[in-house]
Amino acid sequence: MKEALPDRIGKYPILRELGRGATSVVYLGRDTFAERDVAIKVIRSRANGDANIERRYQRVFLNEATLAGKLVHPHILAIHDAVTEDDTSYIVMEYVDGHTLEHYSEPDNLLPIPKVTEIIFKCSLALAYAQRHGVIHCDIKPANILIKEDTHIKISDFGAAQYDAAQHTQLKGIGSPAYMSPEQIQDQELSHQTDIYSLGVVMYQLLTGKLPHMASNRGSLLYQAVNIEPNPPSTYRKDLPPELERVVMRTLKKKLDERYATWAEFSRDLTLAYRNLELPAEVLSDTEKFDAIRALSFFKDFGDQEVWEILRLTAWRKFPAEQMVIREGDSGDYFSVIHAGEASVSKAGRLLNTLRMGDCFGEMLYFETPNTRRVTTITAATPLSVVEVKSEDLNRASDALQKQINKAFLRILIDRLTWANSRLSAN
């Protein structure tokens, strides 16, 4: 018989049930103080009186509870709070109005290859961030990756995670058999490479609708994962590019020294494979934009979170050679960073400077009043591509992003003063 829907859990009114699993039930609740919907995971208790299962459930709760507020990344589901009261333990999380990647794991509902590549790329960046904070997820699978709005993803469920700062005994031997790495199956010491393997299984499944290893029982499945090389994914999807297949197969290597050693190496190869895919002309994906921003000197000190945030705020514009981009005397409410090409800076018809990839222009208006006018003219010296950021959007950005922008502007100001002083000294 289905359990009755609680009216509230703690201070949170409950709207409906979102789903349930072996260890928990998840409800949609409302945080009336923050005025936002939240997902509330209630850990099951009194597991038929089995003390071992009860302790296991409690450790799952402790794993996620300990990470509350510690993994702040655009592609990791935020944990807002963790509470234990009376006989109930629950975790309050960010709510994502979407579904899991299980939705795209069947042969009759696969995503286009470029979208799969972009999703896996975002997962790799999130898991690399987790690794830098001493966290290994240990249970990467489609059901633990939420998706909405095309390719916007969030990794969830760190209940099986291992991490450096844990103050309690961590779980071993937990995970989903079809996605477990050989070393995880054999109860060996784990590193981030176990997450690389599991993400490779997810990628294989999203591309083909099949798992690398399939068997009628758990024992046979685990034996295959440890001992048998999987069929190449092109066995099931003939249009798969060879370079992308090589990436997938390397993630699934049994031996650690043959698998990707770092997330950076894995992400790099994904990017290279992505660039070789047939994509619509003149369309930049989030993956390409992320890499493009990363390559610009203006953003060199930005963390992943700030890069993703600035990506969401920007407009990407192109100008043919000799087109005027900014006219002196005009008002303006944005600044731009050159993504490709060159631009000339002039005043009253006199050439002052040439700007190249990574240089910015229009930044002084960010510090001025709204009625301030442009004091120079910017013209595309070659075909020009720029990343444009409106001041009003930046004013609503996070404190962390604004701090990085201000540091970048300060660095530019110092560089320009140094250049001007060297010119004066030379004269």
Q: pLDDT by residue (tens digit) across 206-232?
A: 999 999 998 889 999 999 999 999 999
Say whether both 111 and 143 belong to one domain: yes
**For position 37, which CATH number holds?**
3.30.200.20
Quick check: 250 and 259 in contact, CB under 8 A? yes
What are the pLDDT digits (tens) for 13-28? 999 999 887 678 899 9
Say whether both 228 and 334 belong to one domain: no
Phi, psi at residue 325, to the nearest 5°?
Answer: -95, -45
In-domain check, residue 2? no
Say whether both 201 and 118 belong to one domain: yes
What are the percentages of helix, strand and coil residues in the chain, rounded to 5? 40, 25, 40
Of 94, 116, 137, which closes a domain? 94
> CA-CA distance, 395 to 403, in Å (whole number)?
11
- pLDDT, residue 371, reads 59
Of 251, 279, 307, which closes a domain? 279
**For position 189, which CATH number holds?**
1.10.510.10
Q: Which residues, other chains included, contact 392 with Cβ-Cβ below 8 Å and sequence gap of 6+?
A: 333
- pTM (2 decimals)? 0.74
Say whether both 27 and 117 belong to one domain: no
Torsion of CA 222, 225, 227, 233, to 10 degrees: 150
Pairing of strands 12-20, 334-340: unpaired
Say whether both 23 and 141 belong to one domain: no
Share the mean pLDDT of the chain: 85
> CA-CA distance, 159 to 26, in Å (whole number)?
14
The greatest distance separating any two alpha carbons of the chain, rounded to the nearest whole angstrom, comes to 89
Q: Is 139 in the active site?
A: yes
- pLDDT, residue 168, reads 44
Say whether both 302 and 198 belong to one domain: no
Say whether both 62 and 35 belong to one domain: yes
In-domain check, residue 266? yes
For the record, the structure tokens of 239 come out as 């249009």
Say whether both 58 and 84 belong to one domain: yes
Select which of 7, 139, 257, 301 is catalytic. Answer: 139
Burial 383-404 (b: 16+ CB within 10 A, else e): ebbbbbbbbebbeebeeebeeb
> CA-CA distance, 383 to 394, in Å (whole number)?
27
Say whether both 334 and 224 belong to one domain: no
Of 69, 94, 119, which closes a domain? 94
User: How many domains, the chain?
Assistant: 3
What are the pLDDT digits (tens) for 64-110? 777 767 888 889 999 998 888 777 888 899 999 999 999 999 888 99
What are the pLDDT digits (tens) for 52-73? 656 666 666 777 777 767 888 8
Question: For the sheet containing 334-340, what is the strand order?
Answer: 315-319, 384-390, 334-340, 360-361
In-domain check, residue 286? no
Look up tokens 């979170």; give the residue: 305
Q: State which H helix or E strand residue 318 sits in.
A: strand 315-319
Burial 187-215 (b: 16+ CB within 10 A, else e): eeebebbbbbbbbbbbbbbbbbbbbbbeb
In-domain check, residue 292? no
- pLDDT, residue 172, reads 56
Mean pLDDT value of segment 164-173? 52
367 vs 331, higher pLDDT:
331
Give the number of residues written for the chain.
Answer: 427
**For position 331, which CATH number holds?**
2.60.120.10
> CA-CA distance, 366 to 143, in Å (whole number)?
43
Q: Measure the N-to-C terminal CA separation of the chain; round to a whole number of Å.
A: 89
In-domain check, residue 285? no
Mean pLDDT value of segment 130-147? 93
What are the pLDDT digits (tens) for 241-278? 899 999 999 999 999 999 999 999 999 999 888 877 75
Look up tokens 């249970």; give the residue: 139
In-domain check, residue 290? no
- pLDDT, residue 331, reads 75
- pLDDT, residue 184, reads 93
Say whether both 52 and 177 belong to one domain: no
Torsion of CA 51, 54, 56, 61, to 10 degrees: -150
Say whether both 103 and 249 belong to one domain: yes
Could you tell me which residues are beta bridge partners of residue 345? 353, 378
Domain housing 168: 99-279
Q: Which residues, other chains included, contact 360 with Cβ-Cβ below 8 Å and sequence gap of 6+?
A: 298, 335, 336, 337, 338, 408, 412
> Which 8-state DSSP code applies to residue 178?
G
In-domain check, residue 291? no
Q: Which residues, other chains included, contact 374 with Cβ-Cβ below 8 Å and sequence gap of 6+?
A: 326, 327, 328, 329, 330, 331, 332, 362, 365
> CA-CA distance, 121 to 117, in Å (whole number)?
6
> CA-CA distance, 211 to 180, in Å (whole number)?
12
The Cβ of residue 268 has, within 10 Å, a number of other Cβ atoms equal to 15
Q: How confident is the model at residue 169 (pLDDT cuts 50, 70, 90)?
A: very low
> CA-CA distance, 117 to 111, in Å (whole number)?
10
> CA-CA distance, 270 to 244, in Å (whole number)?
7
In-domain check, residue 293? no
Say whether both 226 and 341 belong to one domain: no
